[in-house]
Amino acid sequence: MAQLLEGKRALVVGVANRWSLAWAIASAFRQHGAEVLLTYQGDRQRLTVEELAAELGAAALPCDVTREDDLHQLGEALRQRFERIDVLVHSVAYAPKEELSGKFLETSRHGFLVAHEVSVYSLVALARLVAPLMTQGGSIITLSYLGACRVVPNYNVMGVAKAALESCVRYLANDLGRAQIRVNAISAGPIKTASARAIKGLAQLLDHLRERAPLGRDTEPSEVADAAVFLASDLSRGVTGNVLFVDAGYHVMAF
């Protein structure tokens, strides 16, 4: 296998377990020669993420993206331990479960603010943190979903948050481009991750996708990971501000 990421160092934020897309991406990065760093949120995730990090020969650092102190400490740890970072993967999204059913009209103020703080502002905060360490240019990758631009039943406030996330990708791409830092999103098809199971009607959504998607099947985590390898590698050196769909082609369908 070609080592597309040989000599690169990637910070992957959002690994929760071995079924998460962030874990698939981190594993693919390691297979392609990158040094990988993981983060975990709180003591509840620490043991799981440290065990996964050990499989990759990686470090695991604490970071709750909603806490400025944690972000500051992560930045200090990165500066002390590593001379540069080449890739940031942002795979963080959350909305209270009660917001992921029923009508979007009923979204609470609290749910709206939490979804945007965790799922959107965290990208801006992390980009600001790692940009000074991308001394040779770099790649920032986040994960989105079709609900950013189309109505998906029960996705509700997360769809609005993903729309804001994709807008942040474009603004960050403009701000960071002169430093040769590229910013892109992968819009992945629905996959049975722990976070996706919080969405009411996920099974029916997956059935519909298999029926309508041009490839006639689910999206596989490895496909999302391979797209991330491309965006992290020099093969995508001219690509920034884009949303790359990896969803078996479902996004092209009108009905």
Torsion of CA 42, 163, 235, 172, to 10 degrees: -80
Whole-number Å distance between alpha carbons of 60 and 12:
10
Supply 133's token pair.
Answer: 């360490």
Which of 40, 155, 171, 250 does the annotation list as catalytic? 155
Which of 40, 94, 121, 145 does the annotation list as catalytic? 145
- CA of 208: how far to CAs of 82, 159, 190, 205, 244, in Å? 46, 18, 11, 5, 21
Supply 47's token pair.
Answer: 């043991």
Whole-number Å distance between alpha carbons of 206 and 132:
41
Cβ–Cβ < 8 Å for 83, 137: no
Supply 103's token pair.
Answer: 């009508």
Neighbours of 168 (CB within 10 A): 20
145 as an active site residue: the answer is yes
155 as an active site residue: the answer is yes
Selection from 150, 174, 172, 175 nearest residue 162 by Cα: 150
Whole-number Å distance between alpha carbons of 109 and 34:
41
Could you give the residue numbers annotated as active site?
145, 155
